[in-house]
Amino acid sequence: MSEEKRAEFNNKMTIRIAVSAILIAVGVVLSYLNPFGYIMIAGTRINPFAHLINALTGVLLGLSFSIISALGIAIIRFSTNIGTIHAFHGGISGAFVVGVVSYFLNKKYPKYVEYAAFTEPVGTVFIGGTITALIEGFTLANLLFYWWVFMLASVVGSVLGFIVLKILKDSGFSRKTFSD
C-alpha cells in the first residue's frame, strides 16, 4: 500500500470513528433528554432514536461501525438505567441487518443505498424480538407480543433514519463521504 493510500485510509478511518462516537452520544442523549425518547412496555424500553442511529450508521459507516455504535448505545443506556438488557439484542441485530443490506446495495445500486434504512425492523423485530421472547420465556403469545413491541420503535426509527439520510444525501454527505 502506498503512503498516499495509507494516509487516505487513515483519514477515512478517523472520520468514521469520530462520526460513530458522535452518533453514539446523540443516540444516548436523545434516549435520555427527550420525554418521548422511550416508552416502557412490559419491561422493555422501546426507543425509536436508537433505531434511527442504526439506520444512519449502517448506511453511512458500514457493518462494523453500525454494530459498534449499537453496542455503545446499548452499554451506556443499560449502565445508566435508561435502557434494558433488550437494548443489546434489539439494537445490534437491527444494525447488523442494515449494515449487510447497505453493503450489498452499495455494490449493486449505490444510488439507492439509503433504502437499506428500511431493513432495520427486519433485524430488530425478527432477530431481536425472538431473542427477547426466548429470554422472557418462549411462547407464541410472547413472541408475537415482542415482535409487535419492537416493531413500534424500529419502524418509526427506520423512517426517521431514511428521512435524515435523504437530507444528508441532498446536502452532499453519503456513504462515500465516510467509507469506500
Question: Cell numbers at residue 112, please?
Answer: 439507492
Contact 12, 178 (CB under 8 A): yes
**CA 108 vs CA 24, 27, 72, 144: distances in Å:** 29, 30, 30, 34
Does the structure show a pLDDT above 70 at 62? yes
**For 114-135, b where at least 16 C-beta lie within 10 A, e where not — what string?**
bbbbbbbbbbbbbbbbbbbbee
Whole-angstrom Cα distance, residue 70 to residue 47? 12
**For 54-93, b where at least 16 C-beta lie within 10 A, e where not — what string?**
bbbbbbbbbbebbbbbbbbbbebbbeeebbbebbbbbbbb
Q: What is the DSSP string of 66-133?
A: HHHHHHHHHHHHHHTTSS-THHHHHHHHHHHHHHHHHHHHHHH-GGGGGGGGGGHHIIIIIIIHHHHH
pLDDT at residue 50, rounded to an integer: 87
Does the structure show a pLDDT above 90 at 1? no
Does the structure show a pLDDT above 70 at 121? yes
Does the structure show a pLDDT above 70 at 44? no
Domain limits, the chain: 3-178
pLDDT at residue 42, rounded to an integer: 62
Q: How confident is the model over 85-96, as pLDDT tens digits?
A: 888 988 999 999
pLDDT at residue 59, rounded to an integer: 95
Mean pLDDT, the chain, whole residue set: 88
Q: How far is CA 171 from the centre of its chain?
A: 21
pLDDT at residue 128, rounded to an integer: 92
pLDDT at residue 39, rounded to an integer: 63
For 3-178, CATH gives 1.10.1760.20
Whole-angstrom Cα distance, residue 60 to residue 102? 9
